[in-house]
Amino acid sequence: MNDTSVATTRDVRGRETVALRINGTDRPLDIDIRSTLLDVLRENLQLTGTKKGCDQGTCGACTVIIDGQRVLACLTLAATCAGQDVRTIEGLASPESLTALQEAFLECDAYQCGFCTPGQIMSATALLDEVRAGVPSHVTSNVREQVTSESLSAEEIRERMSGNLCRCGAYPNIVAAVQSVLAMENRR
């Protein structure tokens, strides 16, 4: 079989132009095909809020939201993101108008050095959507039932946030920040 019989995009070996969409803006980029989404965000687009911690899928510092789902930018080849909606910490809000979760991180002092914080906030932002959808976690006692924000325990939040490491150990305050947003939603 020769190359032309395969209807796929083929460019110069090792490079490709990828139609990325980051925080609602089209960003077509010519990239080395090996580039991870994490490196493209940081090195090509100067969106340095997304952090490189372990770069091997362990720490969660590079968490971004693609098509509504939290994922790890360090294990995502940027070329596979063509046409997808990528949201980073820079696209979440503006300094003048933070999200309720960001305000809660400030209120609860949910960080110390701050390096893992963008990943924590992106992860927790998606967590809130998952809880609103009622989906279970590993510690949910009956997976047949929908979880609710009223019933969500600290243990549930810890389990759902276990993909985000914090070497300063701000975990109790991170859990408190998530809890305070859930409590606020319940009061409404």
Partner 1 sequence: MKAFDYYRAGSPAESTAAVASYHNAMFLAGGTTLVDLMKIDVLTPDTVVDVNPLALREIEVTDEAIVVGANVRNSQLAWHPAVRERFPVLTQAILSGATTQIRNMATVAGNILQRTRCPYFRDVHSACNRRAPQSGCDAIDGFSRGHAVLGVSEHCIATHPSDMCVAAALLDAEIRTMKANGANRTIAFNEFHLLPRDTPHHETVLDRDELITHVVFPTVPIARRSHYLKVRDRASYEFALASAAVAIQLDGDRIVEARLAIGGVATKPWRCVAAEQSLVGKPAAEQSFREAAQIALTGAVAQQHNAFKIELAKRTIIRAFATITEVTP
According to DSSP, residue 146 is labeled: P
Question: Residues 20, 104, 116, 127: which binds partner 1 (CB under 8 A)?
Answer: 127
Question: Residues 50, 117, 120, 123: which binds partner 1 (CB under 8 A)?
Answer: 123
125 is a site residue for partner 1 (CB under 8 A): no
**Residue ranges in 158-177 that form contacts with partner 1 under rule CB under 8 A:** 158-160, 162-163
Ramachandran angles phi, psi of 76, nearest 5°: -110, 120
Question: Residues 23, 27, 49, 82: which binds partner 1 (CB under 8 A)?
Answer: 82
Question: Residues 20, 40, 41, 79: which binds partner 1 (CB under 8 A)?
Answer: 79
State the nearest-atom distance from the C-beta of 108 to partner 1, in Å: 21
* Torsion over CA: 54, 57, 61, 66 (sign): positive
Site of tokens 């997304």:
50
* Torsion over CA: 156, 149, 182, 153 (sign): negative
Ramachandran angles phi, psi of 35, nearest 5°: -65, 135
**Residue placing its CB nearer to partner 1 in the complex, 10 or 167:** 10
Q: Residue 58 half-sphere exposure, CB side, CA atoms within 13 Å?
A: 5
According to DSSP, residue 44 is labeled: I
**Contact footprint for partner 1 (CB under 8 A):** 1, 5-10, 13-14, 16, 33-34, 36, 55-57, 60, 63, 69-72, 75-77, 79-80, 82, 123, 126-127, 130, 133, 135-138, 140, 143-144, 158-160, 162-163
